[in-house]
Amino acid sequence: MNTNSKLIDAFSRLQTEPAMSCIVSAVKAKNFGADDLCGLAQAMGRSGAMIDVSRDHPTADLASTGGPGSLSTLLAPLYLRAYGLFVPKLGVPGRPAGGIDVLAQIPGYRIRLSAPEVLEILSKCGYAHFLADDVFAPLDAAFFRYRQKVGAQDVPALAIASLLAKKIACGVKFAGLDVRVAPHGNFGATYDEARQAARTFCDAARGAGIEAVASLTDARTPYQPYIGRGEALLALRMVMDRRADPWLAEHDDRCRLMAAQTASMSPGSRLSQGFDIGKVFVEHLEAQGSSKEAFYEKTNLVAAAVNRELSAERDGFLRVDVPTLRSVFVTVNSRGATADGFPDELGVILRQRSGAYVRRGDLMASVRANDAIWHEFAAALTECFQVVDLLNYAPGLEEVIRA
C-alpha cells in the first residue's frame, strides 16, 4: 500500500478532520494522480447506501462543476431519457441554483429518498433526482463541508473525486460533465486548466468502470436569461411549452448536445423520434410526489412576483458581473430558512445579453425581490450590470490580445 492509499484508508476509517487535512494537503501538493482520485472517490461513494440498476438498464447522468445560470443538470436528464437511458441523479445544492434545489421549490417534490424509494422511482419513470445527504455518500458530504471550512472547495482534483463519488454511489456507467470554465469555477480559471482537469476526471472515471465525456463551456457570461431557483423553473416551463426565446433556446440546444455526447458512449442507445421532454418531466414529478399542476402553479407565482427593473444609465456595452451576481444570491438566500434549507428570496431575468450594446434607458434586467431585500441589495444588484466603453470578452469574442 503506497502513501496515498494509506491516506485514503485512514480517511475512510477515521473520517476525522486531521485525516481530511492530510488528503487536502497531499492533493494540493499535486501528489494525487487519476488512480489516487479514483480510490478517493470509491471510498466516498461506497460510504453509504448504494444503488445499481446497470445490469438491467444502461445508466447515465450529466453533472456540472458549478456556476450560475446553466440548466444542464435539469435539462440533460430529460434528454438522456430520450435515448432510453436510466438516470439516477444524486445532486447537491447550487449557488445560486442547482438542479436539486430548483426542483425542491415545487410543492410535494421529494428530494430526500431512501435506496428502495430511488429504485421504485426509477422503475416508474427511469429518472430519480435526490439529495446527497447522510444516506448516500455521507463521507463525501462530510468532506465537502470540511473543504468549505478550510477554503478547499475550488481545488479541481477534490472536485473530481466528489463528482465521481456520486456516480459510484448510484451505479452510473456513462457520465457526462459540464465543465463551466471561468475564474470563479471549480475546474480552473482558464480553458487550459479546465481541459487538464477534465482529462483527469475522465481517467479517474475509467478506473472506476465509468465511461466519461466532458464538455467545456464558457461560464464568464450568463448561459441564459433566467437566474435563480424559481426562475430556473420558469425557464424549464418555457422550454417544455416551446416558448423559449432565442437565447434560452440556444442554451437548450447545448444541453441537448451534452446529453447526446453522453448517450453516444452507451452501445445501442438510439434517440427516440418525437420524444417529448415535457411528458417525461411530468412523469418524473408524479413519481417524486408532485404534479404538473403544482409545477405550473409555482411558475405562475414566480412570474407574477417579478417586480423591479434595472435600466441602463448610459450608452455602452453591457457587462454582467457573474461572480458578484452569484455572491448577492448566496448572501440573500443564506438568510432564508425553509424545511429543506433551499430559500428562494431572489430572482433575476436578464433582458439583454452580456456584450450587447445598450442605450440609456434600455431595460437590462428584471428582479424578483420583496421590499426589504430590494432596499438592502438594490445597489449591489445594480453594480452587477455595468455599462462600459470596452470589453475584453463577450459571447463570440473570447479574448483580446494586444502586442
**pLDDT single digits (tens) 141-173:** 899 889 989 999 889 999 999 999 999 999 999
Phi, psi of 179 (to 5 degrees): -90, 105
What pLDDT does 337 receive? 56
pLDDT digits (tens, 9 = 90+) for 375-393: 999 999 999 999 999 999 9
- If residue 364 lies in a helix (H) or strand (E), which one and from where to where? strand 363-368
Spans in the chain with pLDDT lower than 50: none
What pLDDT does 397 receive? 86
How far is the C-alpha of 300 from the C-alpha of 232, rounded, in Å? 13
- Give the torsion through C-alpha atoms of 70, 77, 256, 73, to 10 deg: 10
- Which residue, among 46, 128, 33, has the nearest Cα to 88 in the 3D structure? 128
How far is the C-alpha of 198 from the C-alpha of 179, rounded, in Å? 7
- Give the torsion through C-alpha atoms of 178, 182, 186, 190, to 10 deg: 100
3-state helix, strand, coil in the chain (%, to 5): 45, 15, 40
Sequence letter at residue 19: A
What pLDDT does 339 receive? 54
**Structural contact between residues 226 and 349, judged by C-beta atoms closer than 8 angstroms:** yes
Name the fold adopted by 48-135+150-287.
Answer: Pyrimidine Nucleoside Phosphorylase; Chain A, domain 2 (3.40.1030)
Structure-block grid coordinates of residue 160? 473530481
What pLDDT does 257 receive? 97
The phi-psi region of residue 61 (left if phi > 0; otherwise alpha if psi is between -120 and 50; otherwise beta) is beta
Single pTM value for the model: 0.95
Task: Count CB neighbours of 55 within 10 A.
Answer: 7
**Structural contact between residues 62 and 155, judged by C-beta atoms closer than 8 angstroms:** no
Domain extents for the chain?
Answer: 48-135+150-287, 306-388
Phi, psi of 265 (to 5 degrees): -80, -15
What pLDDT does 336 receive? 67
What pLDDT does 340 receive? 59
The DSSP line for 302-362 is HHHH--EEEE-SSSEEEEE-HHHHHHHHHHHHHH---TTS-----EEEESS-TT-EE-TT-
Q: Helix 191-207 to helix 156-169 angle, to the nearest 10 degrees?
A: 40
What pLDDT does 274 receive? 84
What pLDDT does 338 receive? 58
Kindly report the CATH number that applies to the domain delimited by 306-388: 3.90.1170.30
